[in-house]
Amino acid sequence: MRAIVVDDTGHFDMSEVDRPTAGANQVLVEVVVSGVNFMDALQYRFAAITPDSPLRAGVEGVGIVAELGDGVTDFQVGQRVGWLSGGQGSFADFVSVEADKAVAIPDSVDDETAAALLLQGMTAHYLATDSYAIQPGDSVLVHAASGGVGQLLTQVAKIRGGRVIGTVSSPQKEEAARAAGADQVVSYDSFAQEAREFTHGEGVAAVYDSVGAATLDGDLAALRVRGTLVSFGGSSGPVDSLDLSRLSLGGSLSVVAPMVVDHTRTREELNRRATDLFAWVANGHLRVNIGGRYPLERAGDAITALTSRATTGKLILTH
């Protein structure tokens, strides 16, 4: 079968490899669509540093169950499933997926939408419902509001009754943020001041930050008393240190640094989040923006486009 592997120079190459089988508590899936994520870019950098064995790329996808491993009772051959973890090597024609990490895809959601929704949608879900649970009337600030997670997070915040200030890096990206429901769209240069003005001086209840070092000072300045900074990425570089006195002096602020793996640990939690996301898509409350479609053999081009930050929405690979 075809599979994208990362060589010892960090390049994505199409290779012919043996088709895997379904091990115990696994399902073998014929992949239809793969999702492209920053995690894939990080993995290829790591593979170039430690080239002990070729890395089969990709972690997210949607496809059709082709084989059941021993102990699998929740799925059937021919059923559509999706996964955001437990399926390393998803940039391939077939992949073995841990059955407890797979979710059934309802008929109301097509393959491309499901593949574009799983990892980023789950992220948006736990950010808005757990990391800081948005309440009706809350004002929140979402960085990178035109990106894949940013657009979904903005919509989930609106579903929960919040008001959203979104930051974007260029005027061209403003339209995508507004289409997602942002009440106000601002630049990174003035977002803290804009947040204060939007909230009549009070500050926002939460800042959702995937940018990191470059926005930390503004994030703290934008928060209200007892506000929460949710740091879930570092596209500008990681936050190396934070003086805790800045949190107390800033108004008893809180900082959380969540990861999706810790919010989809159990099958119950995974299915609960998926059920919400699929229902919101079906009833029209959540719109998935696919920012680009690439054939499987152009996985490297998709990663380059993603890391250049020239895209909006989710990138997918078609098979």
Q: Which two tokens stand for residue 23?
A: 């091990």
Q: Which two tokens stand for residue 160?
A: 């929960």
- Using CA atoms, how far apart are residues 310 and 193, in angstroms rounded to an integer? 26
Q: What is the CA radius of gyration of the chain?
A: 20
Burial of residue 1 (CB within 10 Å: 0-12, 13-18, 19+) is middle
Percent residues over pLDDT 90 in the chain? 84
Check pLDDT > 90 for residue 181.
Answer: yes
Q: Which two tokens stand for residue 16?
A: 């012919």
Residue 45 pLDDT level (bands cut at 50, 70, 90): low
Residue 85 pLDDT level (bands cut at 50, 70, 90): very high
Residue predicted with more confidence, 93 or 53: 93
84-98, 167-181, 297-311: range with lowest mean pLDDT: 297-311
Check pLDDT > 80 for residue 185.
Answer: yes
- Using CA atoms, how far apart are residues 313 and 293, in angstroms rounded to an integer? 11
- Please count the other Cβ atoms lying within 10 Å of the Cβ belonging to residue 243: 8
What's the pLDDT at 310?
Answer: 72
DSSP 144: S
- Using CA atoms, how far apart are residues 115 and 291, in angstroms rounded to an integer? 13
What's the pLDDT at 50?
Answer: 52
Q: Which two tokens stand for residue 83?
A: 């996964």
What's the pLDDT at 49?
Answer: 47
Q: What is the pLDDT of residues 110-157, one digit of tens each?
A: 999 999 999 999 999 999 999 999 999 999 999 999 999 999 999 999
Phi–psi pair at 85, nearest 5 degrees: -155, 175
Residues 6+ positions from 76 with CB-CB distance below 8 Å: 65, 68
DSSP 308: T
How many angstroms separate the Cα of 142 from the Cα of each of 229, 232, 234? 11, 11, 14
Asked if residues 212 and 139 have their Cβ atoms less than 8 Å apart, the reply is: no
- The secondary structure element, H or E, covering residue 271 is helix 267-282
What's the pLDDT at 157?
Answer: 98
The average pLDDT across 198-212 equals: 97
Residue 38 pLDDT level (bands cut at 50, 70, 90): confident
The span from the first CA to the last CA of the chain, in angstroms, equals 12
Q: What is the pLDDT of residues 155-172, one digit of tens each?
A: 999 999 999 999 999 888
